[in-house]
Amino acid sequence: MEWYTWVFSGVGLLILTLIGIFGRHFWSCWMRWREFGLIQRKMPELFEEMRIDLQEHPNGREFFVLPKGAMIGMKDPSRMIFEYRCEKHENLADKVGILESYGFVHDITSANVGRFKMTEEFVDFLFK
């Protein structure tokens, strides 16, 4: 075999490897956007309230899910923790459960009131 056959074979293999790596990455990103879009159509009011809260407090990531009539007694004044109420959003616990199962929020409950943290990916999706 000639030397250029080896060179062209190596370059071809390199190109195919790069196509595979970048193709997989872009496919993964596209699927994630698709998932986000499907979820957003199921709960547009909740997403809009979250967007408004994040516009007012861009560094806030945590939120409570409060049942009807519930109050939070002691909140940490140094942290912005959003509150979403079941009387405003129908089936709120189920909606947050969907977000959790897709990995967009994490349950960080330490008492008997649901407390969650938004991922940075989710916050980015909300503003794109």
3-state secondary structure of 89: coil
Whether residue 22 has pLDDT greater than 60: no
**So what's the pLDDT on residue 43?**
94
Q: Is 1.10.575 the CATH number for 43-128?
A: no
pLDDT digits (tens, 9 = 90+) for 51-100: 999 999 999 999 999 888 777 766 666 788 999 999 999 999 999 999 99
Domain ranges of the chain: 1-42, 43-128
Average pLDDT over residues 96-119: 92
Distances (CA, A) of 40 to 21, 37, 102: 29, 5, 12
Average pLDDT over residues 37-44: 92
CA distance 49 to 54: 9
> With contact defined as beta carbons under 8 Å apart, do 119 and 105 qualify?
yes
Chain CA centroid to CA 4, Å: 49
**So what's the pLDDT on residue 75?**
67
CA distance 98 to 90: 14
